[in-house]
């Protein structure tokens, strides 16, 4: 079972309004790609943002991996940079606070989830929080040639993200991409998935100087005053049929796209057939009920039934149900299945 419980963005009328939620946008720099092969976290950042784009809080720090620091050619972090930085155990309480009550977001969140599970969950980070991958969401909703964070950001807004390959710079870029996606969607986007959890924040782990000394964070990048950059209008082709996010992971090459698009086409046809069947069934039922009510109106009994139903109170739908049950109760072959 994963550390996070993944949700998705959809234009269907399900779930919660995405603009009403708060998001904890997460990014990490690591010594390698696989925790199973010994890779560790060396930097982490969280940008807490509301669905309307208002910045709530930013946090970042280098992390002491207690292991050799690899991957310097990508993230630029050396052995000496992590000296004096907090460990994963010291970071867990602060991260619990930042993720509490929010949907955890990342661009290719599968990657961050592996490190949350390997280092931070054993250190005390609660599991089961709601999650959302912007890479899968973007592939599901928007037709682009490339979906990497910098290339998608440039294609959609015209600006290259700043601070690439720093945890805070990439978290900011992902947060901006998310709120621009919500603002530019052709219809209201909703979050379909588990509701965010609120966590009890444990006492901070002691600092290096012993019990009682606060943990000293070691940020590599400073926060920028004024919050996120202004949101940009997108020049993007939104998919007429959204794809299943579960089919939008991995490399997402031509074959993967074709499979996801075929599945979306089949799903749309299935929904259309269901809607048509429901309309036919509803039409038949409405015609039969309408004919019965017209016959009853002729002998005056409908008025008596309506008066009885209205006196009984309740919503209009419940009143109509009472009229129907009263009207049909004396008809041969009718059984009230709502009792």
Q: Is 94 helix (H, G, I), strand (E, B) or coil?
A: helix
pLDDT of residue 316: 41
Q: What is the mean pLDDT of residues 279-300?
A: 60
Q: pLDDT per residue over 138-180, tens digit each?
A: 999 999 999 999 999 999 998 898 888 899 999 999 999 999 9
Q: Does domain 4-250 have CATH number 3.40.50.11900?
A: no
- Asked whether the CA dihedral 279, 285, 290, 293 is positive or negative, the reply is negative
pLDDT of residue 103: 98
pLDDT score of 309 more than 50: no
Contact status, residue 220 vs residue 85, Cβ threshold 8 Å: no
* pTM score, whole prediction: 0.79
All structural domains of the chain with their residue ranges = 4-250
Bridge-based pairing of strands 16-17 and 55-62 is: unpaired
Phi-psi region of 236 (alpha: psi -120 to 50; beta: other; left: phi over 0): beta
Contacts of 4 (CB under 8 A, 6+ apart): 104, 109, 113, 116, 127, 128, 129, 130, 131
pLDDT score of 34 more than 90: yes
How far apart (Å, rounded) are the C-alpha atoms in residues 87 and 92?
9
Q: pLDDT per residue over 208-253, tens digit each?
A: 544 557 899 999 988 888 888 888 999 889 999 999 999 999 999 9
Chain centroid, CA 230 distance in Å: 22
Q: What percent of the chain has pLDDT over 70?
A: 81
Q: What is the mean pLDDT of residues 314-318?
A: 45
Q: Which of 48, 91, 118, 113 is nearest to 202 (CA)?
A: 91
Tokens of 153: 């950001």
How far apart (Å, rounded) are the C-alpha atoms in residues 273 and 289?
24
Give 105's DSSP letter: E
């Amino acid at each position: 079972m994963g550390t996070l419980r993944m949700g998705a963005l959809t234009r269907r009328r399900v779930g919660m309004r995405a603009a009403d939620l708060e998001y904890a946008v997460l990014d990490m720099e690591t010594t390698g790609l696989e925790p199973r092969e010994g890779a560790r976290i060396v930097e982490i950042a969280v940008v807490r943002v509301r669905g309307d784009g208002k910045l709530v809080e930013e946090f970042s720090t280098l992390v002491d991996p207690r292991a050799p620091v690899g991957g310097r050619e990508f993230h630029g972090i050396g052995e000496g940079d992590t000296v004096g930085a907090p460990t994963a155990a010291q970071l867990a309480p602060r991260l619990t606070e930042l993720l509490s009550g929010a949907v955890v977001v990342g661009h290719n969140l599968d990657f961050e989830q592996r490190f949350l599970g390997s280092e931070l969950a054993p250190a005390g980070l609660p599991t089961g929080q709601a999650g959302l991958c912007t890479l899968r969401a973007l592939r599901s909703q928007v037709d682009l040639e490339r979906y990497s964070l910098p290339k998608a950001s440039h294609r959609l807004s015209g600006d290259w993200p700043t601070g690439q390959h720093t945890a805070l710079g990439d978290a900011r870029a992902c947060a901006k991409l998310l709120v621009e996606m919500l603002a530019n969607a052709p219809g209201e986007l909703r979050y379909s998935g588990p509701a965010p959890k609120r966590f009890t924040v444990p006492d901070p782990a002691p600092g290096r100087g012993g019990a009682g000394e606060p943990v000293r964070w070691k940020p590599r990048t400073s926060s920028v005053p004024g919050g996120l950059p202004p949101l940009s209008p997108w020049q993007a082709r939104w998919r007429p049929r959204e794809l299943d996010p579960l089919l939008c992971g991995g490399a997402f090459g031509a074959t993967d796209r074709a499979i996801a698009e075929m599945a979306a086409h089949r799903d749309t046809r299935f929904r259309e057939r269901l809607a048509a069947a429901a309309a036919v069934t509803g039409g038949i039922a409405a015609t039969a009920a309408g004919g019965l009510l017209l016959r009853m109106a002729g002998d005056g009994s409908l008025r008596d039934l309506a008066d009885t139903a209205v006196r009984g109170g309740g919503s209009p739908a419940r009143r109509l149900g009472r009229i129907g049950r009263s009207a049909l109760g004396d008809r041969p072959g009718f059984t009230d299945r709502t009792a």
